[in-house]
Amino acid sequence: MNHRERARELALEYLRRGSFPEWFEALYASSGGNADLIPWADGRPNPCLVEWMTEPGPPAPGSRALVVACGLGDDAEFLAARGLEVTAFDLSPSAIAWCRRRFPDTRVDYLAADLLDPPPQWRRRFSLVFEAYTLQSLPPDMLERAVARIADFVATDGRLLVVTRAREENEAGDGPPWPLTRAALHAFVAEGLREVDFRDFLDRREDPPVRRFLALYERCGGG
């Protein structure tokens, strides 16, 4: 059994016990600081985010950004290096402590927080919200609440960039992870955001390649 399979087994065990969210902390805390044991940690910022930041109209330096469920912090550090004022959070206190150890001189404000019960002052506060691979890591019954909370972080005229594994409606979504359907992502529109871009692509950086969606939303003035 490789590390990825072992992590999945652990997740399924917590799911069966009815204490799913605790498995993230269990995984980070039991890894002994070895990032090879964290399936999604690859020691570099998300390539979709890096590419997106090279496209026209990136957020201006000094804009406020929020990295949702930041894991080991590579995306947050990347955005901070681009001059953004970054807040990054994760449910797992061990992950947050790990970020602070990895980046002792960081400008990122790292904190442990629950996406489903976030600090109220984050409401509509961020010009850029970045979410990668968290929604797909949550059991489907948590999805609706998670989408609503993430949408709520986006300031007026702010943007939300989402990257996730993708599937068709009629494909089995046995997780973890639970790839999202296009309809599931459309919930961001129901939460008051406007879809600005939607890409459905095969990510060949993975072996085997993985189907993903990249979606960009914005909150229009008065929305």
Regarding 45 and contact with ligand SAM (CB under 6 A), the answer is no
Q: Which of 61, 112, 105, 113 is nearest to 86 (CA)?
A: 61
Beta strand residue intervals within the chain, DSSP E: 64-68, 85-90, 109-112, 126-132, 154-165, 194-203, 210-218
Regarding 94 and contact with ligand SAM (CB under 6 A), the answer is no
Minimum distance from residue 220 beta carbon to ligand SAM (Å) = 26
Minimum distance from residue 79 beta carbon to ligand SAM (Å) = 12
Whole-angstrom Cα Rg for the chain:
17
Dihedral sign, Cα of residue 180, residue 125, residue 102, residue 60? positive
Report 46-85 residues binding ligand SAM (CB under 6 A): 46, 69-71
What angle is formed at CA 215 by the lines to CA 210 and CA 220, rounded to 5 degrees?
175
Minimum distance from residue 123 beta carbon to ligand SAM (Å) = 16
Minimum distance from residue 208 beta carbon to ligand SAM (Å) = 18
Q: Which of 103, 52, 115, 61 is nearest to 84 (CA)?
A: 61
Minimum distance from residue 90 beta carbon to ligand SAM (Å) = 5
Number of residues that bind ligand SAM (CB under 6 A): 18
Q: Which of 66, 95, 150, 185 binds ligand SAM (CB under 6 A)?
A: 95
Q: Which of 49, 108, 128, 132 binds ligand SAM (CB under 6 A)?
A: 132
Count of Cβ atoms closer than 10 Å to residue 93 Cβ? 13
The residue (of 121 and 170) whose beta carbon lies closer to ligand SAM is 121
Which residues are at the interface with ligand SAM (CB under 6 A)? 21, 24, 40, 46, 69-71, 90-92, 95, 114-116, 132-134, 137
